[in-house]
Every structure is written in C-alpha cells, then in structure tokens.
Amino acid sequence: MKKNEDKLETAFAAFCRNAGFRRTIQRRIIYELFYEAQSHLGMEDIMAKISLKNPELRQESIYRILNDFEREGYIRKVEVPGVKKYEYASEKHGHFLCSKCGRITDVDTSDIHLPSTLSGACDVSITFNGICPTCAKKNKK
C-alpha cells in the first residue's frame, strides 16, 4: 500500500513539474481519482468522491483543474454521445454504453480496421449501445 502511495506521489510530482502546475491538494485529489480508478467519471462522481476528502473544493475549481488536466493530456472527455464524463487518457478505445444503467465499459477497438482508401483518418470514436451483463441478469429474474 505504502509503495503505491510513493508511486502516485512521484507520478504526480513529475506531472506537475512538466506542466508547470503548482502542487496543490486539490490537484492531487483529482489526479489520484483518475490514477487509481482509470474509469469514467462524471462531475457527480468526482464531486461525491471529493466531498469525502475535501468538502471545500468547489465545482468551479474542479472544472478548472479538469480543463488543465485535459490540456496536458492526462485525461480526456469520454467520446460517448450524450455523456459528460472524463477518463484517464489511456490508449484510444471504444465504449459500450448500457441503455439501462448508463454504465460505460471500455471496448478494445484495435482490431477494427478502415478500408485502405480511408486510411488517412487518425481519430476514432466508437460507441456500442446495449444492455450490460448486470442489467441483462436482472431482467431474467
């Protein structure tokens, strides 16, 4: 556990140094959220998690930090229509959106290839829509 803390601290310090950010507790909390979870977080998720640790952090400040982090390429907006969430900027992937619970799951799209005539395209945004396994199970009962 302690080791992970150290790793996070080192990563955060390097990130701030490169970006020219001051190391504030607010940035640290948000950095940690995405570092650990590597999942899809909306404003509500972020607010909920932050209020446990630092209730004073206001929504405007969070937006500003998210924008800064996005500009630095640490996180990005999840490219799912109608969804306002951020995710850790890992390798590009597609998403599966559950129409029942709204859960988003990452989908590996590296096997999908464009026809060679279109090979100049470099950006991809793929969303699959359906019912996630958890909701599908509930439906059966």
Q: Pick the closer one to Zn ion by CB: 51 or 90.
A: 90
Q: Pick the closer one to Zn ion by CB: 84 or 100.
A: 100
Residue 27 token pair: 């940035």
From the CB of residue 75, how many other CB atoms can be counted at a distance below 10 Å? 24
Q: Pick the closer one to Zn ion by CB: 33 or 87.
A: 87
Distances (CA, A) of 15 to 21, 61, 75, 135: 8, 19, 12, 38
| 106 is a contact residue toward Zn ion (CB under 5 A) | yes
| 135 is a contact residue toward Zn ion (CB under 5 A) | yes
| 98 is a contact residue toward Zn ion (CB under 5 A) | yes
CA 112 from chain center: how many Å? 22
13, 14, 48, 101: residue in contact with Zn ion (rule CB under 5 A): 101
| 66 is a contact residue toward Zn ion (CB under 5 A) | no
Residue 132 backbone dihedrals phi, psi, to 5 degrees: -75, 160
